[in-house]
């Protein structure tokens, strides 16, 4: 864990500082998997409990039978109904096929290309694809690229964690959380990880 980040967050926000002291160090590791794989995984996890999404992802990968995450070409070669048999909804199946088409055509940025882009540039490029919204790109930035200043304000876990940590009657609206989180810059990802942990603890 970045000690500088924890010191900053504790100094600007005593409530968050108390949460940090209570929970202790939280590990943040970037997975650095291919962009196509990361986006497909994020699509699968959209609006689902992690256990349900884990099961669907496992069945999705098993469809291809070689023990590896499928390539874009493999996904495109499989019939949509076969993909749906893993538990994917029709919209998610279409989104994944659309991302696969972008990847197969070479128009999806690589990890190395992403490393040269700022967060806002990545959001702009990736959200041009249907089904890839700010939440999906936020998960990509946090978990795949390891960016430290991302606050997924639409994430229910982050909003719920904020409600618990700050003793609020209701979850904050994304706009309120966005404004409040300005004080956490440039370590909003670290703050989000602690809010997730606060939500998980209940």
Quick one: 35-144 is in which CATH superfamily? Answer: Hypothetical protein; domain 2 (1.10.340.30)
How is residue 62 written in tokens? 């098993």
164, 202 Cβ separation under 8 angstroms: yes
Instruction: Compute the mean pLDDT over every residue in the chain, rounded to the nearest whole number.
Output: 95
pTM over 0.75: yes
For residues 141 and 147, the answer to whether their CB atoms sit within 8 Å is: yes
**Residue range 9-31: mean pLDDT, rounded:** 94
Which conformational region is residue 33 in: left (phi greater than 0), alpha (psi within -120 to 50 degrees), or beta? beta
Domain with CATH 1.10.1670.40 in the chain: 3-28+150-200
Buried residues in 178-202 as b, exposed as e (16+ CB within 10 A)? eebbeebeebbbbbbbbbbbbbeee
Vertex 56 angle, CA 102 and 69, to 5°: 50
Q: Are 190 and 2 in contact (CB under 8 A)?
A: yes
Determine whether 13 is an active site residue. Answer: no
With 0-12 CB in 10 A as exposed, 13-18 as middle and 19+ as buried, what is 21? Answer: exposed
DSSP 99-151: HHHHHHHT-SPPHHHHHTS-HHHHHHHHTTSTT--HHHHHHIIIIIS--SS--
Query: Which H or E run includes 16?
Result: helix 14-23
Q: Which of 21, 66, 149, 155 is catalytic?
A: 155
Nearest CA among 200, 188, 202 for reference residue 28 = 188
Structure tokens at 53: 């999404």
Which listed CATH number (3.90.1200.10, 1.10.150.80, 3.40.50.720, 1.10.1670.40) goes with 3-28+150-200? 1.10.1670.40
What is the arithmetic mean of pLDDT over 51-76? 94
pLDDT band, very low/low/confident/very high, at 161 (cuts 50, 70, 90): very high
Among 23-32, 56-65, 91-100, 140-149, the minimum mean pLDDT is found in 23-32
What value does the mean pLDDT take over residues 144-161? 95
Crossing angle between the packed helical segments 35-45 and 90-105, to the nearest 10 degrees: 170
DSSP secondary structure of 47-77: TS-HHHHHHHHHHHHHTT-SSSPPPHHHHHH
CATH 1.10.340.30 residue spans of the chain? 35-144
Q: Does the pLDDT of residue 171 top 70, yes or no?
A: yes
pLDDT in tens, 82-112: 999 999 999 999 999 999 999 999 999 999 9
* pLDDT single digits (tens) 112-142: 999 999 999 999 999 999 999 999 999 999 9
């Amino acid at each position: 864990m970045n000690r500088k980040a924890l010191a900053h967050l504790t100094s600007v926000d005593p409530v968050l500082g108390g949460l940090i002291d209570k929970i202790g160090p939280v590990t943040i590791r970037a997975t650095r998997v291919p962009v196509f794989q990361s986006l497909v995984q994020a699509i699968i996890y959209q609006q689902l409990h992690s256990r349900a999404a884990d099961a669907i992802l496992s069945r999705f990968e098993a469809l291809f039978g070689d023990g590896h995450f499928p390539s874009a070409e493999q996904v495109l070669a499989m019939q949509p109904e076969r993909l749906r048999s893993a538990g994917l909804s029709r919209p998610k199946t279409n989104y994944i096929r659309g991302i696969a088409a972008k990847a197969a055509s070479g128009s999806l940025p690589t990890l190395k290309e992403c490393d040269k882009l700022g967060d806002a540039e990545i959001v702009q490029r990736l959200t041009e694809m249907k089904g890839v919204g700010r939440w999906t790109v936020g998960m990509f930035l946090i978990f795949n690229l390891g960016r430290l200043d991302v606050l997924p304000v639409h994430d229910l876990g982050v909003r719920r964690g904020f409600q618990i940590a700050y003793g609020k009657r209701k979850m904050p609206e994304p706009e309120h959380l966005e404004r409040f989180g300005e004080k956490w810059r440039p370590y909003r990802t670290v703050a989000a990880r602690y809010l997730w942990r606060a939500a998980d603890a209940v």
